[in-house]
C-alpha cells in the first residue's frame, strides 16, 4: 500500500509577482480553532473584517466583505453580478489581466469593447474617454496593476470620466492594493476586488471586495433568494444573476444584518483576511504604501546597478514589482531555475508576448524588506555571472543601499 509522509514545503523566498511569503502573524491567525458560522464570535469577526477593509479600500461602502475563493473568484463575482446579457462593457487592455476581464465579460454574454495599448504602457484617459463616447458602455472594467507588464493604470481621471458619463467603474486591484495608492471613494470606483497573496501579505484563497451604493442598486435589481430561504411574499428576480455561488445580491444578505444562509464560511481564510487588513490598519495605509515604494525603488535601482534594462514605462510602474529584460545570451528559464535550486529564491517570467523576454521581480507584502531585496540582488548577480553575463561586482547591492541610505533617519 502506498503511504504518504506529511508534506513539508521547501524553504523559499518568493520574490516573483505573487504569491509571496505570508506574514507569520497571518499564518498564526489561520491556525486558530474553527467556530460555527453563526456563532456570535464569528459574526463579530465578519463585522471586524468588513470595517477593516473599508479602511484598506478607502471607502465608506457598507457593501464591503469577502468572496470565498482566490482573487479570480472576486473578479467573477463582481462581473457576473453587474453584467446582464447584452450589456456593453468597455475594457482597457494593457496586459494579460485585461484580457482576463474580457474573457469573463464575454462569458456573461456582454457586448465587449476594448481599447488596447502595447504591453509596457498604460491607457491614456483621452483614449478611454473617446471609447466611452463611441461605445456608451454600462460598465468600464479595468485592472489597476497588471503584473504581466508591471504597469499601474492611473484611475482617478478614469473615475471622473465614468461618473461624468454615467458609466459604472469596476477595478481589479489584486496586484496593487496595499502597495500603491488606491482610493475607492475619492476616485468614484463602483466595484473593487482584490486578493490577499500580494501586497496584503497573506495566502491566496480570499477576495476582499467593495461595492458602491450605485453598484448595489444595479445588483439588487436582480436579487433572487433561494427557495427554502424566502420569506412570505419574496419572489425570484426575472433576470437572475447567472451564478449561485458568486451571486453578490445573495452575499449581501449573507454578510448583512439578515445573515441569510448562503454557504459555509471559509473560516480559516476569514481569520487570514482579517489579520491581513488588521496589520495594514495598525501600520497605517499610507505607511504601508510608502514601505512598498521604498523597497520597490531599491530593487529598481539594484537591477539597474547590475546593468540590466528595466521593461516598460517606468513612470507608470507599480511600486511592488519590476520587469527586467533578460540579457541577450542568457537562458531566462535556466537562470530562474538556478536561483530557485541554489538559493531558494523564486522570481517570475511573464506571459504571451513577454514570455522568455522579461523577468518579474516582486517586493511586496511581507517580502517588502531590506534583507529580502539585498539577498535577491546578491543571488541574481551570481547567477548572471555563471550564465556568462558579467555585471558590475556588487553593483546591485551598492545601488540598493544607496536608496536605503538616502532615506535613513
Q: What is the mean pLDDT of the chain?
A: 95
- Please state, in angstroms and rounded to a whole number, the distance separating the CA atoms of residues 366 and 339: 20
Please list, residue by residue across 47-68, b when 16 or more beta carbons sit within 10 angstroms of its beta carbon and e when fewer do. Answer: eebbebbbebbbbebbbbbbbb
pLDDT (0 to 100) of residue 261: 83
Lowest-pLDDT choice from 270-279, 282-291, 352-361:
352-361
Taking each helix axis from N to C end, the angle separating 395-406 and 370-386, rounded to the nearest 10 degrees, works out to 160
- Mind listing the domains of the chain with CATH numbers? 20-281 (3.40.640.10), 285-406 (3.90.1150.10)
Element (H, E) at 325: strand 321-325
Cell of 49: 473584517
* E strand spans, 43-182: 63-68, 88-93, 111-116, 139-143, 145-146, 151-152, 168-172
Say whether pLDDT at 409 is over 50: no
Say whether pLDDT at 300 is over 60: yes
- Burial of residue 97, with CB atoms counted within 10 A of its CB: 0-12 exposed, 13-18 middle, 19 or more buried: buried
DSSP state letters, 352-394 = GGGTTTEEEEE--GGG-SHHHHHHHHHHHHHHHHHTT----TT
Q: Average the pLDDT over 215-235 and give the result.
A: 80
Q: Average the pLDDT over 67-76 and give the result.
A: 98
Q: Are strands 145-146 and 151-152 parallel, antiparallel or unpaired?
A: antiparallel
Q: What is the pTM of this model?
A: 0.95
pLDDT (0 to 100) of residue 23: 98
pLDDT > 90: what percent of the chain?
A: 89
Q: How confident is the model at residue 232 (pLDDT cuts 50, 70, 90)?
A: low
Cell of 84: 446582464
The helix/strand/coil state of 289 is helix
Q: How confident is the model at residue 223 (pLDDT cuts 50, 70, 90)?
A: confident
Contact 260, 225 (CB under 8 A): yes
pLDDT 10s digits, 101-152: 999 999 999 999 999 999 999 999 999 999 999 999 999 999 999 999 999 9
- Please state, in angstroms and rounded to a whole number, the distance separating the CA atoms of residues 143 and 83: 17
- Please state, in angstroms and rounded to a whole number, the distance separating the CA atoms of residues 364 and 202: 11
Say whether pLDDT at 318 is over 90: yes
- Burial of residue 271, with CB atoms counted within 10 A of its CB: 0-12 exposed, 13-18 middle, 19 or more buried: buried
- Please state, in angstroms and rounded to a whole number, the distance separating the CA atoms of residues 235 and 225: 7
Q: Which residues, in sequence order, are bridge partners of residue 138?
A: none
- Please state, in angstroms and rounded to a whole number, the distance separating the CA atoms of residues 208 and 277: 10
pLDDT (0 to 100) of residue 406: 75
Contact 260, 37 (CB under 8 A): no
Closest CA to 140 of 152, 151, 130, 150: 130
- For Cα atoms 192, 367, 17, give the angle at the middle one, nearest 5 degrees: 55
Say whether pLDDT at 236 is over 80: no
What is the chain's length?
A: 409
- Please state, in angstroms and rounded to a whole number, the distance separating the CA atoms of residues 59 and 321: 25
pLDDT (0 to 100) of residue 230: 65
Amino acid at each position: 500500500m502506498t503511504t504518504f509522509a506529511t508534506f513539508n514545503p521547501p524553504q523559499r523566498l518568493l520574490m516573483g509577482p505573487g504569491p509571496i511569503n505570508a506574514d507569520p502573524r497571518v499564518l498564526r491567525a489561520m491556525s486558530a480553532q474553527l467556530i460555527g458560522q453563526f456563532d456570535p464570535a464569528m459574526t463579530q469577526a465578519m463585522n471586524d473584517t468588513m470595517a477593516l477593509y473599508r479602511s484598506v479600500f478607502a471607502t465608506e461602502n457598507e457593501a464591503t466583505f469577502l468572496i470565498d475563493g482566490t482573487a479570480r473568484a472576486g473578479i467573477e463575482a463582481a462581473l457576473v453580478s453587474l453584467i446582464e446579457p447584452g450589456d456593453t462593457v468597455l475594457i482597457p487592455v494593457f496586459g494579460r489581466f485585461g484580457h482576463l476581464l474580457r474573457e469573463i465579460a464575454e462569458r456573461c454574454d456582454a457586448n465587449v469593447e476594448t481599447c488596447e495599448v502595447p504591453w509596457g504602457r498604460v491607457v491614456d484617459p483621452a483614449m478611454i474617454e473617446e471609447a466611452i463616447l463611441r461605445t456608451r458602455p454600462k460598465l468600464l472594467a479595468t485592472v489597476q496593476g497588471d503584473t504581466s507588464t508591471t504597469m499601474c493604470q492611473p484611475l482617478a481621471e478614469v473615475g471622473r470620466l465614468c461618473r461624468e458619463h454615467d458609466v459604472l467603474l469596476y477595478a481589479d486591484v489584486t496586484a496593487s492594493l496595499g502597495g500603491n495608492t488606491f482610493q475607492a471613494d475619492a476616485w468614484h470606483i463602483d466595484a473593487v476586488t482584490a486578493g490577499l497573496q500580494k501586497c496584503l501579505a497573506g495566502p491566496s484563497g480570499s477576495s476582499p471586495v467593495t461595492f458602491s451604493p450605485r453598484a448595489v442598486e444595479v445588483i439588487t435589481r436582480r436579487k433572487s433568494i433561494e427557495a427554502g430561504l424566502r420569506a412570505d411574499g419574496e419572489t425570484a428576480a426575472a433576470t437572475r444573476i447567472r451564478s449561485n455561488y458568486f451571486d453578490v445580491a445573495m452575499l449581501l444578505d449573507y454578510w448583512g444584518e439578515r445573515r441569510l444562509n448562503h454557504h459555509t464560511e471559509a473560516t480559516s481564510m476569514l481569520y487570514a483576511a482579517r489579520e491581513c487588513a488588521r496589520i495594514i490598519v495598525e501600520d497605517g495605509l499610507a505607511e504601508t504604501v510608502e514601505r512598498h515604494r521604498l523597497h520597490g525603488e531599491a530593487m529598481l535601482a539594484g537591477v539597474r546597478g547590475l546593468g540590466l534594462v528595466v521593461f516598460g514605462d517606468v513612470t507608470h510602474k507599480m511600486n511592488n514589482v519590476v520587469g527586467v529584460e533578460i540579457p541577450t545570451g542568457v537562458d531566462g528559464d535556466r537562470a530562474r531555475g538556478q536561483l530557485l535550486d541554489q538559493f531558494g529564491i523564486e522570481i517570475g517570467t511573464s506571459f504571451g508576448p513577454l514570455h522568455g523576454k522579461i523577468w518579474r521581480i516582486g517586493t511586496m507584502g511581507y517580502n517588502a524588506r531590506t534583507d529580502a531585496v539585498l539577498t535577491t540582488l546578491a543571488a541574481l548577480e551570481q547567477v548572471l555571472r555563471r550564465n556568462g553575463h558579467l555585471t558590475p561586482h556588487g553593483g546591485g547591492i551598492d545601488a540598493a543601499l544607496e536608496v536605503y541610505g538616502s532615506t535613513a533617519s
